[in-house]
């Protein structure tokens, strides 16, 4: 029996994001091509004896490029909430000691918190030998956030509705990119509110699916219906987006509702060199990433 486990929680990139008009329940349907990349938070879980109280620690990893204050309550952390939700699902306590070391910026549109939750579900399932399938874990994850079901599996998938419909791809696309982290704040609710004010919205599921089936991802192929709203929420984001595009000599894109931005690169060497140039010439924290399953 394992008494401890380390689980990687990868970030996601929205290579395509189409957003529909707000529904009567206040939610916006989406159709998005999501891919997990090798920028990861790290979750270490230790199984405690029955009857012990769980304890949790959240801190920044030494390699984190963009840090912010960890000022949310433990009970609101998505990894902790995932643990509590899993205990409800199985009807018993699952006492753990958790250490979460974050590399993924908070509020960066990269799904960091959701991936932490997914990692907790996978890790606790293995640690306590619960025997839940990945689909069952995804159902638990759907109660926590729209990105969690996809991130339970990871890899490449088309995600639709409010995150619950995930069509996984059998193969992983070859994606190399640079992700940069502007000093910009794009609250999701504000971005969606500005999206509504812009009067746009109309799902382009066909365009998303066509991009996902088109072989290698061209630098100008990604699109994001929330990009303009994110820039309105944080005008500096627009400046950084233009500066990154100019430096890379190819389009830069917004991931999710912002504020992280990315450029598709030719290969790993290209991505590594561009990331270094972004940090040196633009003063923006940046990392090179590749798609991972």
What residues act catalytically?
Answer: 12, 147
Q: Which of 258, 185, 257, 169 is nearest to 217 (CA)?
A: 169
* 229: its two tokens: 């709203």
**Kind and range of the H or E element at 291?**
none
Q: Give the Cβ contact number of residue 40 at 10 Å.
A: 22
| Look-up of token digits 């304890």 | 55
Residue 279 CA, distance from chain mean position: 22
Q: Cα torsion at 57, 60, 61, 63 (round to 10°)?
A: 180
Residues 6+ apart with CB under 8 A from 290: 37, 38, 175, 176, 177, 268, 271
Answer yes or no: are the C-beta atoms of 144 and 250 closer than 8 Å: no
Q: What angle do CA 103, 273, 245 make, to 5 degrees?
A: 85
Alpha-carbon distance of 103 to 40, in angstroms, equals: 6
Q: Give the Cβ contact number of residue 252 at 10 Å.
A: 23
* 235: its two tokens: 């005008």
Alpha-carbon distance of 277 to 280, in angstroms, equals: 5
* 254: its two tokens: 């917004």
Alpha-carbon distance of 160 to 166, in angstroms, equals: 6
């Amino acid at each position: 029996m394992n008494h401890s486990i380390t689980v990687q929680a990868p970030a996601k990139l929205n290579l395509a994001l189409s957003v529909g008009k707000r529904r009567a329940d206040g939610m916006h349907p989406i159709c998005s091509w999501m891919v997990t990349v090798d920028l990861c938070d790290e979750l270490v879980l230790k199984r405690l004896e029955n009857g012990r109280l769980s304890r949790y620690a959240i801190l920044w990893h030494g390699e984190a490029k963009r840090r912010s204050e960890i000022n949310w309550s433990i009970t609101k952390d998505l990894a902790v909430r995932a643990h509590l939700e899993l205990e409800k699902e199985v009807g018993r306590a699952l006492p753990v000691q958790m250490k979460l070391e974050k590399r993924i910026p908070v509020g960066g549109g990269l799904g960091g918190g959701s991936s932490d939750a997914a990692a907790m579900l996978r890790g606790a399932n293995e640690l306590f030998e619960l025997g839940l399938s990945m689909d069952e874990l995804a159902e638990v994850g759907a109660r926590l956030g729209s990105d969690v079901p996809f991130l339970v599996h990871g890899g490449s998938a088309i995600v639709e509705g409010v995150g619950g419909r995930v069509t996984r791809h059998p193969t992983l696309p070859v994606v190399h990119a640079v992700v940069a982290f502007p000093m910009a704040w794009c609250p999701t609710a504000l971005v969606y509110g500005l999206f509504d004010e812009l009067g746009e919205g109309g799902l382009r599921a066909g365009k998303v699916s066509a991009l996902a089936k088109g072989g290698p991802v061209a630098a100008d192929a990604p699109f994001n219906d929330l990009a303009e709203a994110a820039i309105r929420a944080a005008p500096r984001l627009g400046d950084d987006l233009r500066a990154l595009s100019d430096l890379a000599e190819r389009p830069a894109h917004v991931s999710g509702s912002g504020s992280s931005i990315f450029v598709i690169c030719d290969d790993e060497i290209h991505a590594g060199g561009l990331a270094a140039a972004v940090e040196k010439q633009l003063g923006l924290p940046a990392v090179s990433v590749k798609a991972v399953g």
